[in-house]
Structure 1
Amino acid sequence: MFQNVWNAVEGRAPGYGIKDYDVFYFDATDLSWAAEDRVIVAADALFSDLEVTVQVRNEARVHLWYEEKFGTPAAPFTSAADAIDAFASTTCCVGITRDEAGLRVHAPYGLADGFAMHMRPHRRLAPRRVYETKVREYRSRWPSLTSDPW
């Protein structure tokens, strides 16, 4: 979502520069890859008519693969919101959910940095290289993006 905010701020078309859209869910009842893969396959079919990539992941499983991918262990998350709260930049810690009350925005660090196109590191989980890689990648697509150093 923050990337589409950047597009609006820079006057770009919606969707510009966005590699994929993340859909998170949390199901700790079955942490097997097979269970997550069934959801991924169903989502692929659901979103097959879209011209964008939608990546669906069970945030209850992150601790099972995080260390191998990023070199640092991760404690199990307690919810999808808990996973969002651990992103490498506080600016990116934004999610939207729908419940009986309607749409709700989850932004534990606020939205000001997103609208200001400014990234700040978040050291809760991600290593320095993950934050710095994100900054480089995003800045290549949104040149006016600024960032704090690690």
Structure 2
Amino acid sequence: MSDLETRLVEIVRADPDLMHVLRTVRGLGLDDWRVFSGAVYQSVWNAVTGRPVGYGRKDYDLGYFDPDVSWDAEDAVIKRVAAAFDEPFRSDVEVRNQARVHLWFIDRFGEPYDALSGTDEALERFVAPAFSVGVRLEDDDTISVAAPFGLEDVFSLTIRPNPHRPLARGWAKVVESASARWPELRVQT
């Protein structure tokens, strides 16, 4: 485990709300799941900038992978996850079957999106390497980390476009929103 990965795990473990989400989701037995995006990178940014745990966090993005791409199957999982939490977590944990993303992505974001083969593959397509970090609480209580671009950007407070995809259509909005909450961010284009 790299020094940055060790530090990330320490930050995750120091966040009681994030750990609550990870423990609860682990108990649900979802296939190929991760909590990713803002719930993870924003925790790092808070630790690096000295902000309180949970500052700026809007939600907990939970991805899992089920080859059944029907809406009914995903809706059943969304309801099952919601039933496992009390408020405010019930409203804050956003669940998406990564096997279904290609079905709705173009309508929502105006960009094509090829089907995925697993949850970790989704991280490779996020708009910025700093956002492309996911964690899972394993059965043995270790925290596994998926970060296809590494962890340097998230720890150096750097937002730059994903080099493997076109600039996201909502890039300016993403940068503006993040910079408003963490003005220390360094934006590269």
Which residue in the other structure is 1:9 paired with?
48
1:92 and 2:131 correspond: yes
Which residue in the other structure is 1:103 paired with?
143
Which residue in the other structure is 1:73 paired with?
112
Which amino acid letter does the alignment assign opposite residue 100 of structure 2? R
Is 1:119–1:146's contact at 8 Å kept on the other side of the alignment? yes
Which residue in the other structure is 1:144 paired with?
184
Report deviation, 1:64.
0.2
Q: 1:31 aligns with which of 63, 69, 72?
A: 69
Within 2, Cα distance between the matches of 1:55 and 1:21? 6
Q: Which moved more, 1:96-105 or 1:55-64?
A: 96-105
Cα RMSD after superposing both structures: 1.7
Report the secondary structure of 1:128's partner residue: coil
Q: 1:117 aligns with which of 142, 157, 160?
A: 157
Q: 2:82 aligns with which of 44, 51, 59?
A: 44
Report deviation, 1:130.
2.5
| TM-score normalised by the chain length of structure 2 | 0.72
Does the C-alpha gap of structure 1 residues 126 and 14 become closer, same or farther in structure 2, counting only changes over 3 Å?
farther
Is 1:70–1:127's contact at 8 Å kept on the other side of the alignment? no
Which residue in the other structure is 1:20 paired with?
59
1:44-102 CA-to-partner distances (Å, cap 9, x unmatched) read 11122445711111000000000111112111011000011110001111011244563
Is 2:105–2:113's contact at 8 Å kept on the other side of the alignment? yes
Which residue in the other structure is 2:34 paired with?
none
Number of residue pairs aligned between Structure 1 and Structure 2: 148
Within 1, Cα distance between the matches of 2:161 and 2:167? 10
Structure 1: tracts of 5 or more residues without a match: none
Is 1:89–1:131's contact at 8 Å kept on the other side of the alignment? no
1:59 and 2:98 correspond: yes
Which amino acid letter does the alignment assign opposite residue 112 of structure 1? E
Is 1:90–1:122's contact at 8 Å kept on the other side of the alignment? yes
Structure 2: tracts of 5 or more residues without a match: 1-39
Does the C-alpha gap of structure 1 residues 50 and 128 become closer, same or farther in structure 2, counting only changes over 3 Å?
closer
Report the secondary structure of 1:96's partner residue: strand
1:22-47 CA-to-partner distances (Å, cap 9, x unmatched) read 1110001x111111011111111112
Within 1, Cα distance between the matches of 2:173 and 2:128? 11
| TM-score normalised by the chain length of structure 1 | 0.90
Within 2, Cα distance between the matches of 1:145 and 1:90? 14
Identity of aligned residues (%): 41
